[in-house]
Structure 1
Amino acid sequence: MRTYLGLDTSAYTTSVALVDEELNILSDERVLLKVDNNERGLRQSEALFYHIKNLPFLFEKIEPILSGHQVQALGASAAPRNVAGSYMPVFLAGLSSARSISTFSQLPLYEISHQEGHIMAGLIGNYSLLDKPGFLAVHFSGGTSELLVVKKAGGQNLLNIEAVAAGFDLHAGQLVDRVGVAMGLPFPAGAALEEMARRYKGEHPLNLPSYVLEEGFSFSGVETRCQQLLKEGVPREALAFAVLRVIANTLEKIIVIHANKTGIKDVLLVGGVMANGIIRERLVKRLEHPAVGINTHFADSHLSSDNAVGAAALAAYLHQQK
């Protein structure tokens, strides 16, 4: 069977994946980088060191699957986004490994952006979006908060991606993690914050105002207000629910603004923040209301967070188009 290998070494996850010619996932292996309690992240040098340690372990895990399969090409994340000047040292771990494998085995290597990998992973199961003239895409994570217009491209690129709105300051994932850590939750705090928010049973949720303009949005004021409310003794469950609700409200507003501006009525939502069930539920309810009429498409929950499946799938697609 012909297979395609993907590598992604992001800020907090080491990932290796294999897909077949039809983009079926054969292996999806990841290691979440360890962050000490009460810390809000890792330095790039620390993360790079962990990736170098983790990659041989992940290759050992996929080795049994490689037996009897013929790898045709590799895909590796080389930068956060496919724009000039986009760079993070952590991606060198996966990219260097992929380049070494490519040189030694004489296999083609497709260097992609982390963002393209997220979108490609989200397109698995949502392939109908590629038949449309274009679609909106949300990429919300700890390092990116952007609304994009995505169109199918030709040549060496599958996707033409244009950012039309972005966070002015704090990213959505940073808001979740900073408030979560302040509550004593582990980093990254997304899953634990959602679990806490699910326990909120109040009838009148806290209202954290969202700040949204056509060109972007802000979460720094929300974080400041959350820290104040924690000091005032607001129940943690209520605050957790309010944080997720304000992220959903912010997304709803910016999506509607650009859906009306562009006439595009389909939106794909990817990135670690979009794995959150409370945010998903509110967006589906609000955006798919007949009065709004926007079609929401989500990556599978396990493909919302950082992974190498998108890199492998994009390599498979591009290689088969040659």
Structure 2
Amino acid sequence: MWVLGIDTSCDDTGVGLVKDGRVVVNLIRSQVDLHQAYGGVVPELASREHLKAIRPLTERALAEAGISPRALDLIAATRGPGLIGALLVGFTFAKGLAFGLDRPFLGVHHLEAHIVAAWPEGPSPPFLALVASGGHTHLYEVLDLGRYRLLGATLDDAAGEAFDKVARLLGLGFPGGPELERLAEEAAQEGVEEAPFAVPLKEQKGLDFSFSGLKTRAVQLLEKGYSRQAIALGFQRAAVGHLLEVLLKAKERTGHTTLLVAGGVAANKTLQAELKRAGLSVFFPPKGLSQDNGAMVALAAHRRALKGEASHPLSLDARAYWPLEEVSHLTGVE
């Protein structure tokens, strides 16, 4: 089965092709250079760039796979959540393609696609799943495909958003997460003493996250004269420590020792190392599937097709806000 997946939920145009559950092509057209001057994503500009990129990127994906559009068995696109203007570009394009080719169409939840990208055939539910990116920090108990229980979420900034904001504060540009990680690693290797950050929500009873205080603390420390390296190192250790603390608490409460970590923050090597030392059986997305991409959408659609989900009506609308726990096991169209 050939599945085409499209993601235009934010600023990356993603087109992926999956055959029988295996990623064959995964193309991403980044808009980093466009938005860098603004220090963040400008929704209107993102939508316009998706319009320019979506058709040629799809044609290129098909060419690289060596197949014609007629070879496609299923066409899928991110339905939500995301920037509504950006979402509509990929969602409408995919529906139009499905109509023109007379192929089934599936609207996929963005966070479910991230989870499926980190979900190999091995671990069977139930298990924990952390989705941490520039727009999301959510912790779920995965009971099955399409059955999710929200355990905790960020109360303010998403983890990736906080990384990007602190990186911008330190003059590292956008997106700054990878650059902040590089600067923190450099500081650790050189023996730089980390700037003092407190791990957030130490006394909380729940399983929520908060990162805005770390951002504020970074501003204060910079004003006090701490070096960029010291701040990067201290911030990363506190942010990773916060994630780890909540995940270990979730492990104790649920008894689950298997954890999936999805989203852009999953690529952070410090987080990966700490989680592996914590006694958890941890799964991360393969290289290229952490950030927003079309292949993860195709993987999620393929897995749903195997569960018996045939097609969604072409009248299905995109949703800027769509809690994952509202997604059903088979229809996924609420």
Class of the TM-score when normalised by the shorter of the 2 chains: 0.7 to 0.9
Asked if the contact 1:35/1:187 (under 8 Å) is kept, the reply is no
The answer on whether the counterparts of 1:181 and 1:187 sit within 8 Å (CA) in structure 2 is yes
**Does structure 1 retain, via aligned residues, the 8 Å contact 2:35–2:41?**
no
Q: 1:31 to 1:108 in 2, by over 3 A?
A: same
Whole-angstrom distance in 2 between the partners of 1:68 and 1:10: 26
Shift of 1:35: 3.9
Structure 2: stretches of 5+ with no match in the other structure: 309-334
- Give yes or no for contact 2:9–2:80 (8 Å, CA) kept in 1: no
CA-CA distance at 1:317 after TM superposition: 2.2
Letter in 2 for 1:220: S
Whether 1:309 aligns to 2:308 is no
Instruction: Tell me which residue corresponds to 1:29.
Output: 27
What corresponds to 2:8 in structure 1? 9
1:246 is matched with which residue? 238
Partner of 1:155: none
Deviations 1:192-226 (A, max 9, x none): 11111111132643331122331412111110010
Cα 1:103–1:38 change in 2 (3 A) is closer
The number of residue pairs the alignment matches comes to 300
Alignment of 1:128 onto 2:126 = no
**1:222/1:120 CA distance change after superposition, 3 Å:** same
Structure with the largest fraction of strand? 1
Q: Give the aligned residue type for 1:122.
A: A
One-letter amino acid matched to 1:240:
A
Matches within 5 A, 1:5-84: 5-21=4-20, 23-33=21-31, 34-37=33-36, 39-68=38-67, 70-80=71-81
Note if contact 1:217-1:250 (Cα within 8 Å) is conserved in structure 2.
Answer: yes
**Partner Cα separation in structure 2 for residue 242 and residue 104 of structure 1:** 54
Shift of 1:43: 2.5
Aligned to 2:113, which of 101, 111, 117?
117
Distance, in Å, in 2 between the alignment partners of 1:282 and 1:66 is: 37
Read off the aligned partner of 2:103 and give its amino acid letter: L
Identity of aligned residues (%): 27
In the TM superposition, residue 169 of structure 1 has moved relative to its aligned partner by 0.6
Of 241, 247, 250, which residue of structure 2 is paired with 1:258? 250
- Name structure 1 gaps, 5 residues minimum: 81-85, 153-157, 289-293
Distance 1:68 1:220 in 2: 47
Q: 1:284 to 1:35 in 2, by over 3 A?
A: farther
Paired residue secondary structure (1:199): helix
Deviates more, 1:267-276 or 1:55-64: 55-64
User: What CA deviation, in whole Å up to 9, does each residue of 1:267-313 have, x standing for no partner?
Assistant: 1001101111122112222x12xxxxx22211124211111111111
Residue 281 of structure 2 is matched in structure 1 by: 295
Matches within 5 A, 1:143-154: 143-152=135-144
Q: TM-score, structure 1 length as denominator?
A: 0.88
Look up the SS of the partner of 1:217 in the other structure. coil
What is the aligned counterpart of 1:93 among 86, 89, 92? 89
User: Aligned-pair RMSD on alpha carbons?
Assistant: 1.8
User: C-alpha separation between the residues in 1 aligned to 2:37 and 2:170?
Assistant: 10
Report the residue type matching 1:184 in the other structure. G
Q: Tell whether the 8 Å contact from 1:48 to 1:89 is kept in structure 2 after alignment.
A: yes
SS at match of 1:267: strand
- Amino acid of the structure 2 residue aligned with 1:318: R
SS at match of 1:253: helix
Aligned AA (2:237) = R
